[in-house]
Amino acid sequence: MAIDSNIAQSTVDFHGLNQLRYQATQSQDDQQTMRQVAAQFESLFVNMMLKSMRQASLGEGIFDSDQSKMYQDMSDQQLASDLSSRGGLGLQDVIFRQLGGETAAAKQELQAGRAFSIDTVIIRPALGAKVNERIIEQIKEAKPTQPEQVTPFGEKMTFANPQDFVEKLWPYAEQAAEKIGVSPEVILSQAALETGWGQHVLSHADGETSFNLFNIKADSSWSGDFTSKNALEYRNGKALHEESRFRSYESYQQSFDDYVQFLQTQPRYQEALRHTADPEAFVEHLHKAGYATDPQYADKIKRIMNGDTLAQISQEIAHG
């Protein structure tokens, strides 16, 4: 008895699989039976794939409901069945061979020694050592790497020295400076003091950087990620180490953007923003407003700002 190759594949035909099971037990044509089973398995796989894609959506539509989801599931099931009945995604042949079947093309390739699948691994001759080494090297070269934080110039965002720090962060500082009306040198001087020219940017317990260049703390208004560190604070003239939470970002661009927003939205820094034309006055008012508890904070920034290192680098950048 030959198995019926026209078994209805429809989302509303709930007896299709049972009918296939029954006819498979009565069939003498093992190859045709396995072909039908392979098609059903492929249809199930495609349906699972479509369901996973639906679940990965960012949100529900305004017209979504339980009824619409039901009809959507039925549509996906029908699509999976239709794809399988028309040749599918190529999985049908693979499943068919795993069940013990052999297509004419597979037999031909196997005889020619060209087939490569789970069926033919055992009979494939071992590759020479040099060939294996070459394949391994090709795989290593093709292996994707994790993206690194880069500057607009395409450089890796690591800082070898103060000049490297200024050159790589200058574009970000320029953008931030334009928004608040201060010079880029002032912003970079503060970032240099807070991070030791980029050598001591706060990190998480796993070693991942926080990208926090200005050591802005994660107060109650902050809902993003943060890292906790022992920080040196001055209370009543005494230096103390206190556990504090600091904001964490996904990039240095976000750090600069948040610095600008932090100053512009905090009432206590409005006086400093009124003195952006005078860099030293701006820094002094930041300090008076409580940006840092270090009594020498403003003087330290001004020393960096007026020092030879930053002046020389900024002139070189300005003159191309």
State the Cα–Cα distance between residues 234 and 302, nearest whole angstrom: 20
State the Cα–Cα distance between residues 254 and 14, nearest whole angstrom: 54
What size, in residues, is the chain? 320
Three-state SS at 132: helix
Amino acid letter for position 65: S
Burial of 102 from C-beta contacts in 10 A (0-12 / 13-18 / 19+):
middle
Read out DSSP for 144-204? ------B-TT--BS--SSHHHHHHHHHHHHHHHHHHHT--HHHHHHHHHHHHTTTTS--B-
Say what the alpha-carbon torsion angle 98, 102, 108, 112 is, to the nearest 10 degrees. Answer: 40
* Catalytic residue numbers, as ranges: 233, 258
Structure tokens that stand for 166 in this block: 């200024």
Helix axes 297-305, 184-195, angle to 10 degrees: 120
